């Protein structure tokens, strides 16, 4: 199934941004193999982004929606639009236009352990993929303890966290569901009702 909904500026609907036409002929930088080999492509992506001239485009193929990268590049002046082409294959288009759309205004918080958090429609997201143990567990627990109500927490992890479930249970939370893609495990955490 293709995801045609734009991911800019909180807009919904089926229309793509006007600048997308500029990016359709640009060959994508495919980082799926790099991630599958266990290597972080962040430095390569930042190098490629720094070479994009104002008004230019960068296209990235990834195994998941790279929300943290999109936020970082928004801070560097890029608007972005993403499409899920198939399971485990996202294509994200970046346009160097001053970051006029979507994530340039997004709030990303970096927790003391180095985890990034942000809010999307499905809840509060936390990315702990680059952290060494026990920091992912500490960051996740810190976040759930700060949340009130029935908010969902979506964890982006690079491995299945063995010690998380008992810690969640002690605090009245559980793993509601989990998906696994190359170099990305997602867990949806919810309060036990």
CB-based burial label for 117 (10 Å; 0-12, 13-18, 19+):
buried
Supply 148's token pair. Answer: 């009130």
pTM of the predicted protein model: 0.53
pLDDT value of residue 58? 95
pLDDT value of residue 175? 95
- Residue 175 Ramachandran class (φ > 0 left, ψ -120 to 50 alpha, else beta): beta
The Cα–Cα gap between 113 and 60 comes to: 28
Q: What is the mean pLDDT of each run of 10 residues along the chain (193 residues)?
A: 35 59 87 89 93 93 86 83 85 83 53 79 83 92 90 90 93 92 82 88
pLDDT value of residue 193? 80
Residue 145 structural domain = 109-191
Same-domain status, 127 and 52: no
The Cα–Cα gap between 98 and 85 comes to: 27
Largest CA distance in the chain: 52
Same-domain status, 80 and 129: no
Note whether residue 159 is domain-resident. Answer: yes
């Amino acid at each position: 199934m293709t995801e045609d909904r734009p991911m800019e500026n909180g807009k919904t609907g089926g229309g793509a941004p006007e600048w997308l036409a500029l990016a359709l002929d640009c060959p994508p930088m495919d980082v799926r193999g790099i991630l599958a080999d266990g290597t972080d492509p962040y430095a390569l992506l930042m190098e490629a982004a720094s070479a994009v001239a104002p008004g230019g485009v960068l296209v990235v193929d990834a195994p998941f929606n790279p929300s943290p990268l999109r936020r970082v590049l928004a801070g560097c002046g890029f608007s972005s639009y993403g499409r899920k082409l198939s399971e485990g294959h996202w294509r994200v288009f970046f346009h160097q236009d001053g970051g006029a759309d979507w994530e340039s205004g997004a709030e990303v918080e970096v927790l003391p352990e180095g985890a990034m958090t942000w809010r999307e429609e499905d809840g509060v997201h936390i990315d702990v993929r680059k952290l060494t143990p026990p920091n992912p567990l500490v960051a996740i627990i810190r976040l759930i303890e700060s949340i009130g109500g029935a908010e969902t927490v979506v964890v982006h992890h690079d491995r299945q966290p063995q010690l998380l479930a008992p810690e969640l249970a002690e605090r009245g939370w559980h793993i509601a569901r989990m998906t696994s893609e190359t170099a990305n495990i997602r867990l949806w955490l919810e309060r036990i009702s």
